């Protein structure tokens, strides 16, 4: 009996010791050695502190949860010391410069970050020094494809050895969650579906794969709805500076006071499809053009990507069907299949305009395909002007003048589409991510050439069927 008790106590002690040994924090360090970028994982046991003096370390990967944050790391900063501590399961960073001055960062919560994915975008001075990494569940690291985004929009001047870091933190995509179908109608080249919130009446939402958050008008919320204010915080040696958050649209950002914040919707219904736990952005009101069309919401990728496959039937008609989880038709019919990548919560496909390489942002919320003046000029794109005074408008409600032009061809994967008409203008949404020289918006004027358009989020490709 005593022997059995001793074995039991030993097992309990061993398990307790093992659990104690496993308590701690992962920290991730972005490093550069001979212009080769990598992210390394270091485990710090609970209560321990690690000190890093290695000049190959550019910066620790920093995230406070869902959202976007950025930093410019100057070469001189890398000569200091990084101090990392795991205390009470919180990760604490401090920077110490050569004079001994210390600057702390806000505490990170690794347990909360385990529920999220972090994409780290790195850009150096020269265009070929850029890379993206994905940290899944705050554990595994892998290189990520797709464009490298810059939340400063390319406005910061870099010297040799400087880097711009843009960190995107998002919830893990839940696949195989949504199934069912809903009818859509075409209004002014938007796909519009009925959406019901709580016990309210069904209202019209635009289906927008390029909106990373579902957006609703405050006018359809009950008075009891709780709206959480959204802010941008700038951390510097001079202290913290808080700014009002805005929403970026194709033609610009929303005005101050337009974006009220976020509200949690316990459930919304898209036709017969029920969606739980949607954290929606709230606008005080929608632009006049949308209001006149009866549109009071935008269904974003935070909802649409909760399925293996999202298929649109009869896209080239005035009425069609959106099906969550329908991949049958895409498999049995001959189709064009094109791979895509995800960056900044947006879907991008490699392609060409004329002979110039470009990344297309797949945007079902854009009524037309749009190319930036900057890209056309730098790549000497040939085009014929069809309309001189084309007007484009985004979620900000601002109108901008543009050109409607015809280009010799648009290429996607190994497929080419001849004599395509596109809008040529300034695209604020791409400028805000520093992508106006690299990307264009592929909008509904392209997708509506086809009867069926299907997005496979598991395998990251989309299909179009005539």
DSSP code per residue over 365-395: T-SS-EEEHHHHHHTT---EEEEEEEEEE-T
Contact 123, 149 (CB under 8 A): no
Instruction: Tell me which residue of 117, 149, 116, 156 sits closest to 131, measured CA to CA.
Output: 149
- Bridge-based pairing of strands 415-425 and 370-372 is parallel
Cα gap 214→211, rounded to integer Å: 7
Give me the domains of the chain, ranges plus CATH numbers: 24-171 (no CATH), 180-325 (2.40.70.10), 336-465 (2.40.70.10)
Element at 242 (helix H, strand E): strand 239-244
What does the pLDDT read at residue 109? 95
The phi-psi region of residue 397 (left if phi > 0; otherwise alpha if psi is between -120 and 50; otherwise beta) is: left
| Alpha-helix residue ranges (DSSP H) falling in 156-198 | none
What does the pLDDT read at residue 345? 84
Residue 42, C-beta contacts closer than 8 angstroms, at least 6 positions apart: 26, 27, 28, 29, 50, 84
Tokens of 16: 């307790």
What does the pLDDT read at residue 234? 60
What does the pLDDT read at residue 401? 84
Residue matched to tokens 């470009």: 358
Question: Sign of dihedral through CA atoms 340, 343, 345, 350?
Answer: negative
Cα gap 189→366, rounded to integer Å: 8
C-alpha pair distances (Å), 375 with each of 244, 358, 365, 466: 31, 9, 22, 30
What does the pLDDT read at residue 15? 46
Q: Spell out a b/e string for 426-436, using b for 16 or more CB atoms within 10 Å of the CB, else e.
A: bbbbbbbbbbb
What does the pLDDT read at residue 7? 43
Digitized pLDDT (tens) for each residue of the chain, 466 residues in all: 444 444 444 444 444 444 444 689 999 999 998 878 999 999 999 999 999 998 899 999 999 888 888 899 988 888 889 999 999 999 999 999 888 888 898 999 999 999 999 999 999 986 568 899 999 999 999 999 888 989 888 888 888 889 999 999 988 765 447 889 999 999 999 999 999 998 788 999 999 999 989 999 999 998 889 998 876 666 555 556 665 565 555 555 556 668 888 999 999 999 989 999 999 999 998 888 888 999 999 999 999 999 889 999 999 999 999 999 865 555 556 678 899 998 888 899 999 999 999 999 999 999 999 999 889 999 999 999 999 988 877 666 677 788 999 999 999 988 899 999 999 988 777 777 778 788 899 999 999 999 999 999 988 999 999 8
What does the pLDDT read at residue 395? 62
The phi-psi region of residue 57 (left if phi > 0; otherwise alpha if psi is between -120 and 50; otherwise beta) is: beta
């Amino acid at each position: 009996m005593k022997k059995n008790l001793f074995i039991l106590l030993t097992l309990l002690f061993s398990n307790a010791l093992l659990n104690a040994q496993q308590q701690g924090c992962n920290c991730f360090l972005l490093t550069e050695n001979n212009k080769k970028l990598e992210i390394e994982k270091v485990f710090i046991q609970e209560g321990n502190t690690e000190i890093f003096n290695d000049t190959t370390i550019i910066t620790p990967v920093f995230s406070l949860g869902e959202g976007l944050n950025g930093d410019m790391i100057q070469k001189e900063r890398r000569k200091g010391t990084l101090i990392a501590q795991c205390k009470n399961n919180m990760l604490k960073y401090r920077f110490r410069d050569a004079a001994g001055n210390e600057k702390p960062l806000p505490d990170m919560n690794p347990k909360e970050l385990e529920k999220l994915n972090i994409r780290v975008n790195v850009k150096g001075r020269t265009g070929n020094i850029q890379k993206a990494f994905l940290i899944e569940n705050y554990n595994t690291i892998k290189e990520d494809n797709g464009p490298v985004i810059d939340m400063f929009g390319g406005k910061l001047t870099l010297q040799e050895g400087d880097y711009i870091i843009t960190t995107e933190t998002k919830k893990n995509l839940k696949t195989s969650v949504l199934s069912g179908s809903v009818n859509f109608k075409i209004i002014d080249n938007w796909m519009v579906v009925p959406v019901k919130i709580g016990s309210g009446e069904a209202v019209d939402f635009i289906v927008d794969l390029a909106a990373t958050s579902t957006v609703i008008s405050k006018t359809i919320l009950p008075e009891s709805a709780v709206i959480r204010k959204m802010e941008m915080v700038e951390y510097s040696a001079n202290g913290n500076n808080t700014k009002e958050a805005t929403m970026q649209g194709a033609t610009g950002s929303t005005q101050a006071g337009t974006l009220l914040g976020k509200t949690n919707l316990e459930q919304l219904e898209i036709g017969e499809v029920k969606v739980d736990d949607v954290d929606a952005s709230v606008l005080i009101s929608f632009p006049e053009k949308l209001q006149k069309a009866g549109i009071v919401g935008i269904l974003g990728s935070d909802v649409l990507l909760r399925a293996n496959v999202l298929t649109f039937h009869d896209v080239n008609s005035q009425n069609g069907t959106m099906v969550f989880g329908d991949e049958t038709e895409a498999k049995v019919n001959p189709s064009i299949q094109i791979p895509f990548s995800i960056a900044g919560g947006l879907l991008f496909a490699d392609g060409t305009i004329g002979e110039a390489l470009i990344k297309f942002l797949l945007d079902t919320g854009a009524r037309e395909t749009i190319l930036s003046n900057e890209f056309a000029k730098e790549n000497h794109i040939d085009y014929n002007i069809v309309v001189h005074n084309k007007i484009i408008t985004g979620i900000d409600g601002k109108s901008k003048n543009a050109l409607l032009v015809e280009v010799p061809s648009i290429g996607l994967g190994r497929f080419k589409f001849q004599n395509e008409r596109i809008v040529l203008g300034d695209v604020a949404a791409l400028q805000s991510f520093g992508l106006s020289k690299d990307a264009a918006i592929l909008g509904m004027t392209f997708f509506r050439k086809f009867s069926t358009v299907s997005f496979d989020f598991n395998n990251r490709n989309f299909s179009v069927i005539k």
